[in-house]
Amino acid sequence: MSPSSSRRAARLSAIAAGVVIAAVFVGPANAQTRRIGISVGRISSEKSCTLYQESSGSSAMVATRHMVAAVESWRTWLVRDCVNDFSTIRTSVEAALASSGKFAIRPKGGSYSISGAISQVGSDSPGGFSSTNGGYDISTAGIFVSMNVIVRDAGGRVVYGGPLTKHLETSSISQTSDLSAASGMSGQGVYTVLQNQMALAVARLVAFHIDPLRVVSGGGRQIRLNYGSPLLTLGTVVHATGSNGVMVRYLVSSADPDGATADIDSEADSSQVGPGSAVTAIESGDPAANERRIQRVDLPG
């Protein structure tokens, strides 16, 4: 082989080696993050499904596995889902976990499995406020669902669990001396929203325990979180704990499938909040979502 041929071969070998090295370093960075295998098992009811039926006079509104009564309410759809072991909630939980990008849904097996039981369903008492002098009255009505959730590892051992409750406003009435207005949803619409909100709450409870919610970039007045939509949505309240132990309130201002951005909504010291800081998501309806966030200041006398 001539000297020039030898030099050419050496250069080609060096280039090939460089390509291999680049592949070694670039490949994993672009590879999809390994997902945790998880299965969603049966979601049952702690009470007979027939107890969720409503009646009006002597005519009961009934739902079965294959039929929904012509006159229906959200309870009718609840009964139909109940006799199917809450398959719509189960499917929504699977979709929410899968969309986080951190979990791979398995028919069974996997590193973790989830099961649940609906423990209580009911209507919230009408709420609202009125003004006699102003001549207006606003009232709202709602429903709630409670579920007990259990997480097991691959060996069947319970590793986490707890109850959760979701509240949903279903209708409102506004009245003045000259005008009356009401808003509401169909029975199917109410139950669709309710099961979706319940599924997202279950997914958050499980996901944030297995792979905790935390700050991945930013700090101080604006932070970036390791979870995004659909688990975190615009306006979600989160509490971040700084290295000094101070808890700071933030509101999610944007969310995408790769993460969420949250802006400070508190006057607490946020200087020690940064990458690695632990974060807690506050469910809507939780009293902490309406906590006082502005410090009380005495005005000059």
Residue 137 CB partners (closer than 8 Å, separation 6+): 128, 129, 130, 131, 173, 174, 175, 176
The tens place of each residue's pLDDT in the chain, 301 residues long, gives 555 555 555 554 544 444 333 333 333 333 456 899 999 999 999 888 888 765 433 344 445 555 554 456 888 888 889 999 999 999 999 999 999 999 999 998 889 999 999 998 887 766 665 555 566 777 888 888 999 999 999 999 999 999 999 888 887 887 777 777 877 788 888 889 999 999 999 999 999 999 999 999 999 999 999 999 999 999 999 999 999 999 999 999 999 999 999 999 999 999 999 999 999 999 887 666 666 555 554 556 5
Quick one: 166 and 153 in the same domain?
Answer: yes
Of the residues 210, 235, 254, the one at which a domain ends: 210
* Size of the chain in residues: 301
Quick one: 104 and 135 in the same domain?
Answer: yes
Quick one: 105 and 180 in the same domain?
Answer: yes
How many Å apart are CA 240 and CA 280, to the nearest integer? 7
Quick one: 117 and 229 in the same domain?
Answer: no
> Angle at Cα 38 formed by Cα 35 and Cα 44, nearest 5°?
155
Residue 248 lies in a domain: yes
DSSP class of residue 29 equals H
Query: What CATH number should be reported for the domain holding residue 273?
Result: 2.40.10
How many Å apart are CA 105 and CA 153, to the nearest integer? 14
Provide the b/e sequence for 127-136 (b: ≥16 CB within 10 Å).
eeeeeeeeee
What 3-state class would DSSP assign to 34? coil
Query: What CATH number should be reported for the domain holding residue 128?
Result: 3.40.50
Cis peptide before 230 (omega within 30 of 0): yes
Q: Phi/psi at 81 (nearest 5 deg)? A: -70, -35
Distances in whole angstroms, Cα of residue 11 to Cα of each of 6, 14, 15, 18, 133: 9, 5, 6, 10, 90
Give this prediction's pTM: 0.76
* CA-based nearest residue to 164, from 202, 199, 123: 202
Residue 145 domain boundaries: 36-210
Give the pLDDT score at 108. 86
User: Total structural domains in the chain?
Assistant: 2
Give the pLDDT score at 140. 80
Residue 234: burial class (beta carbons within 10 Å; 0-12, 13-18, 19+):
exposed
Quick one: 176 and 281 in the same domain?
Answer: no
Residue with tokens 């909504």: 265
Torsion angle in degrees (nearest 10) through CA of 184, 197, 161, 274: -130
How many Å apart are CA 39 and CA 41, to the nearest integer? 6
